[in-house]
Amino acid sequence: MKKILVIDDEQNIRLLYKEELEEQGYQVTVAATAEEAMGKIEADKPDLITLDIKMPGMDGIEFMRKLKEEKRDIPVILCSAYGRYKQDFRVWASDAYVVKSADLSELKLTIKEILGEVESQ
């Protein structure tokens, strides 16, 4: 079972992602801050991370930069309510960028693609 770490400061987003992704068959861990996430990465060794950009303390872009220095092999999907970040070169180090929505189909498909679970047509 693939493990996903959801990092978002909004509790309702963490709960929504956890519930929806567990229904897809993933083992999901959540963290509210970048600092909390660091400990969970060491303990749980996730296969993929979904990461909010705007968070109190260390933001998602800074967290991703630190993460990629130490653990280059963990794919990161940046999730933001703001589409304007797509043009910010600092997000280009991520494996994907998804604009937050109540419809998680784009996020789910992106996760499947990155984890190699999508069958070729």
Q: What is the pLDDT of residues 15-26, one digit of tens each?
A: 999 999 999 999
Instruction: Using the predicted structure, report yes or no on whether residue 120 has a pLDDT greater than 80.
Output: no
Tell me the two tokens of residue 15: 């709960």
Mean pLDDT of all residues in the chain?
88
The pTM (predicted TM-score) of the whole model is 0.90
Count CA atoms within 13 Å of residue 4 on its CB side.
Answer: 26
Q: Which top CATH class is 3-113?
A: alpha beta
Confidence of residue 106 (pLDDT cuts 50, 70, 90): very high
User: For 89-99, how does the pLDDT look when each residue is reduced to its tens digit (9 = 90+)?
Assistant: 566 568 888 88
Domain ranges of the chain: 3-113
What was the pLDDT predicted at 86? 56
Written as one letter, the residue type at 69 is: E
